[in-house]
Amino acid sequence: MHKALLIDPEKCTSCLQCEMACSFEQEGIFNPAKSRIKIFEFEHGRRAVPYTCTQCAEAWCLHACPVEALTRNAETNAVELNPQTCVGCKVCTIACPFGTINYDRDTHKVFKCNLCGGDPACAKACPTDAITYVEDNWTGYERMKASAVAGHGRPAAG
């Protein structure tokens, strides 16, 4: 069974620990601009929502890449980028409907979440469990069903 990141915006405090952990894990530096996960703040900072690549089943970015620099990892189910193959054309950034593939002006390549090889640094660093790494069937229909049964928008305990 594959796993996926589950994001609960109600628990996010906008502490940026996820962004720092990601940039350090992926780039070896603490720099939110190099993070594969971002915190979107709205309502003048009163609400924060972490967002990153959802590893779409029908990954438009993967199909759009003219040089096949994006491939699906069979073990983690993540769409991963091979930076040696990437030519920096940015077609994948246009194809992604969620805007979760970014262009790095320093390397002239794109970058995106690769689930840290199956051990996401963002989830480990989140102090409020706003980001967790769970069985992927719990992120969709089963989670919605449990929320409906609980009757208040959150999964039933237990």
Average pLDDT of the segment spanning 127-138 = 90
pLDDT tens figures, 30-87: 999 999 999 998 877 678 899 999 999 999 999 999 999 999 999 999 999 999 999 9
Give the phi and the psi of residue 71 in degrees, each rounded to 5.
-140, 160
Residue 92, sorted as left (phi over 0), alpha (psi -120 to 50) or beta, turns out to be: alpha
Q: How confident is the model at residue 140 (pLDDT cuts 50, 70, 90)?
A: low
* Residue 101, pLDDT score: 96
Q: Whole-angstrom Cα distance, residue 60 to residue 93? A: 10
* Residue 1, pLDDT score: 74
- Show the domains of the chain with their CATH numbers: 1-52+115-152 (3.30.70.20), 55-112 (3.30.70.20)
* Residue 42, pLDDT score: 82
Answer yes or no: are the C-beta atoms of 5 and 120 closer than 8 Å.
yes
- Percent of the chain with pLDDT strictly greater than 90: 77
What average pLDDT does the chain have? Answer: 89
Q: Whole-angstrom Cα distance, residue 76 to residue 3? A: 7
Q: How confident is the model at residue 158 (pLDDT cuts 50, 70, 90)?
A: very low
User: Does the pLDDT value for residue 6 go beyond 70?
Assistant: yes
User: Does the pLDDT value for residue 156 go beyond 80?
Assistant: no
* Residue 119, pLDDT score: 97
* Residue 41, pLDDT score: 87
Answer yes or no: are the C-beta atoms of 40 and 53 closer than 8 Å.
no
User: Does the pLDDT value for residue 121 go beyond 50?
Assistant: yes
Q: Whole-angstrom Cα distance, residue 146 to residue 153? A: 9
